[in-house]
Amino acid sequence: MRKARECWNFIRALHQGPEAAPAPQKDSVKRIFSGIQPTGIPHLGNYLGAIESWVRLQDEHDSVLYSIVDLHSITVPQDPAILRQSILDMTAALLACGINPEKSILFQQSQAKTAKEKQNGTMGLLTYPVLQAADVLLYKSTHVPVGEDQVQHMELVQDLAQGFNKKYGEFFPVPRSILTSMKKVKSLRDPSAKMSKSDPDKLATVRITDSPEEIVQKFRKAVTDFTSEVTYEPASRGGVSNLVAIHAAVTGLPVEEVVCRSAGIDTARYKLVVADAVIEKFAPIKSEIEKLKTNKDHLEKVLQAGSAKAKELAYPVCQEVKKLVGFL
Ligand SMILES: Nc1ncnc2c1ncn2[C@@H]1O[C@H](COP(=O)(O)OC(=O)[C@@H](N)Cc2c[nH]c3ccccc23)[C@@H](O)[C@H]1O
């Protein structure tokens, strides 16, 4: 009874809503940067932990860069033809998710980083976390929207920026991570692990392009516990709480309301409700990906234009770094 009243109060407060929000002002001081590996199709974790906030940030800020980090992907062996195709597929996926090349610079890492710097390319640059630091610092980025798994890499980026500034004077902004409430979407098969592209259990990871049948099957098999009620208690009920968090994120509703709405449904039925919400969210993205993939020319042009813009931003930073260090 108390729960029902709390739910009702909550929903009423929600519907009264805030005053009409003023049109968002773009922030021109911050520079947003982030990256994604091209290998494999983006999954629910990539989408809710990163890509969805990338789309929002390009509306809020003037200077936004998103990199398809092909150099990072060659830390494991890649077939060149497949890698080339994966870069275009990732471009199509990001555009379909709402990345707009008019609002943000979408580019291929290898095309923007090495072109003017060929003579200085070293193996050191290709060691993973240092390469990630170079990505961020090359554009004097101030904010980096990422999932929780990247926080450690970001700490190294912050250390390197501070170390450089200490030696050569204040030059790099110390970049901050931006994390969303979905900073760690969990595996559907093991709620203690993050959802990951490389999970050997195919049922653990929901990809943006999965068919409705595959999505239903994966949620149906999602690991929960023996309590049938739907609650949000991440510490003690990781599995069902992950489902609630996903459900809230894809519907845009607060977690509390999602829990209210599922009162009386058991977890087995709830899994199908969440699957349906995910199918509905991904359906338009999936069909846009299919459309974009038929226009390879367009995808290549987007990347070329993005790489040219990224290079333009990187060049003066590189020159200044060289001057500060004593190379010029
Ligand atoms: N289960 C999950 N829950 C929430 N978020 C998740 C989940 N899985 C992945 N992510 C986030 O998705 C983004 C891309 O993942 P990558 O593994 O390609 O992301 C990576 O491999 C990076 N090293 C790419 C990179 C290279 N240079 C950079 C510079 C800045 C930021 C990022 C980069 C990431 O934000 C990642 O945190």
Domain with CATH 3.40.50.620 in the chain: 31-183+297-325
- Where exactly does CATH 1.10.240.10 map onto the chain? 186-292
Look up 140 and say whether it is catalytic: no
Q: What is the DSSP string of 54-68?
A: HHHHHHHEEEEEEEE
Query: How far apart are the C-alpha atoms of 66 and 98, rounded to whole Å?
Result: 12
Q: What is the pTM of this model?
A: 0.91
Strand partners, 1: none
Three-class SS of residue 326?
Answer: coil
Identify the CATH homologous superfamily for domain 186-292. Answer: Tyrosyl-Transfer RNA Synthetase (1.10.240.10)
Cα 18 to ligand 1 centre (Å)? 33
Averaged over successive runs of 10 residues, the pLDDT of the chain (328 residues) comes to 50 44 65 96 98 97 97 89 97 98 97 58 64 95 98 96 97 96 97 96 98 98 97 97 98 97 96 98 98 98 98 96 95
Sequence letter at residue 192: S
Six-digit token string for 266: 């058991």
Ligand 1 atom 16 nearest Cα: 36
Active site residue 301: no
Residue 148 alpha carbon, nearest atom of ligand 1: 37
DSSP states along 8-50: HHHHHHHHH-PSPPPPPPPEEEEEEEEEE--SS--BHHHIIII
> Domain 31-183+297-325 belongs to what topology?
Rossmann fold (3.40.50)
Return the DSSP state at 75: T
pLDDT in tens, 103-127: 999 999 999 865 444 444 445 445 8
Give 178-219 pLDDT, tens digit per residue: 999 999 999 999 999 999 999 999 999 999 999 999 999 999
With a 6 Å cutoff on the Cβ, whether 186 touches ligand 1 is no
pLDDT digits (tens, 9 = 90+) for 137-153: 999 999 999 999 999 99
